[in-house]
Amino acid sequence: MYNIGLSPDPKEAAAIEARRNREKERQSRFFNVRNRVIGVDIEALNNQVEERKLREAAERSKEAAFGTNQVQYDLVVQMLEKEQAERTRRLSKKVQEFREQKQQLKNKCEFDLWDLDQLFPACPGHSDPHCGPASLQCFSGEDLHRATRLRMQQEQFRYSLERQLQEQQQARIEDNCADMLSDQLCLAMDMRATQLAKLEESCRMAMMSAMANANKAQAADRAKQQRHEYQREQEANLMEIQNQIISDLLTENPQVAQQPIAPHRVLPYCWKGMTPEQQAAIRKVQETQRLEKEAQRQAQQALDTEWESQTMHSTQAVLELEEQERELCAEFRRGLGSFNQQLAKEQKAQRNYLNSIIYNNQPTAQYHLQFNTNSR
Strands (E), the chain: none
- Distance in angstroms (rounded) separating the CA atoms of residues 79 and 85: 10
Tell me the CB-side half-sphere exposure of residue 65, using CA atoms within 13 A. Answer: 12
Record the pTM. Answer: 0.26
H/E element, 370? none
pLDDT band at 121 (very low <50, low <70, confident <90, very high): very low
Q: How far is CA 225 from CA 220, 234, 354, in A?
A: 9, 14, 92
- Distance in angstroms (rounded) separating the CA atoms of residues 267 and 253: 12
Kindly report, residue by residue over 278-316, the tens digit of the pLDDT: 778 888 999 999 999 999 999 999 999 899 988 898 888
Q: Would you say 189 and 72 are in contact if contact means Cβ atoms under 8 Å apart?
A: yes
Q: Would you say 273 and 255 are in contact if contact means Cβ atoms under 8 Å apart?
A: no
- Distance in angstroms (rounded) separating the CA atoms of residues 155 and 290: 144
Decide if pLDDT at 148 tops 70: yes
Which contacts qualify for 196-203: CB closer than 8 Å, 24 or more apart?
A: 196/72
Which pLDDT score, from 0 to 100, does residue 298 have? 92
- Distance in angstroms (rounded) separating the CA atoms of residues 55 and 49: 10
Most distant pair of Cα atoms in the chain: their distance: 189
Tell me the CB-side half-sphere exposure of residue 292, using CA atoms within 13 A. Answer: 6
User: Nearest Cα to 363, choosing from 33, 28, 30?
Assistant: 33
Cα angle 228-230-235, degrees, rounded to a multiple of 5: 95
Query: For a pLDDT cut of 90, what percent of the chain falls above it?
Result: 10
Kindly report, residue by residue over 220-243, the tens digit of the pLDDT: 888 999 999 999 999 999 998 888
Decide if pLDDT at 194 tops 50: yes
- What DSSP letter does each residue of 97-125 carry, written as one string? HHHHHHHHHHHS----TT-HHHHSPPPTT
